[in-house]
Amino acid sequence: MTKYGALVPIRAKYAAIIKPGISKDHGKHAEVMRELLSEWNPVGLSEDQIVFVLGPPTSQDKEHNYFAYHYENGFAGTGWNFVFKQGVVEQVKEFGIQ
C-alpha cells in the first residue's frame, strides 16, 4: 500500500466538503472539520499526507513547524494548527479566531 493508500477513503469522503479560508459558510466547514477529526487521527502523518487529505493549508509557519487550516468569515471563526515534530504531526490544536 502506498503512503496515501489508507487516506484515500477519508479524502474521498471529506475533500469536497472541507473548504478552508474565508466563507459565509465557515461555521459549516468548521463542523465538518470537527467531524473529520473525530473520525480520523492525523498524529504521525507527514506534511504531504495532511495536504493530500485536506488540501493546502491556509497558512503555515516553517519556523514553528505548523500548518493552519482556518474557517472564518473575515472577522471570527475557528482554526486548527497541525504541529509537526521531526516531519510528522505531533498534535492538532483547535483555536478561535476573533
50-to-10, 11, 74, 93 alpha-carbon distances in Å = 11, 10, 24, 14
Each residue of 15-56: pLDDT tens digit? 888 889 999 998 999 999 999 999 999 999 999 999 999 999
- For residue 15, the model assigns a pLDDT of 86
- Region 53-67: mean pLDDT is 92
In the chain, the number of structural domains is: 1
Please write down the long-range contacts of 25-28, taking CB distance under 8 Å and 24 or more positions apart.
26/71, 26/72, 26/73, 26/77, 26/78, 27/71, 27/77
**92, 37 contact by CB (below 8 A):** yes
Q: Is the pLDDT of residue 1 over 80?
A: no
- Domain carrying residue 10: 5-97
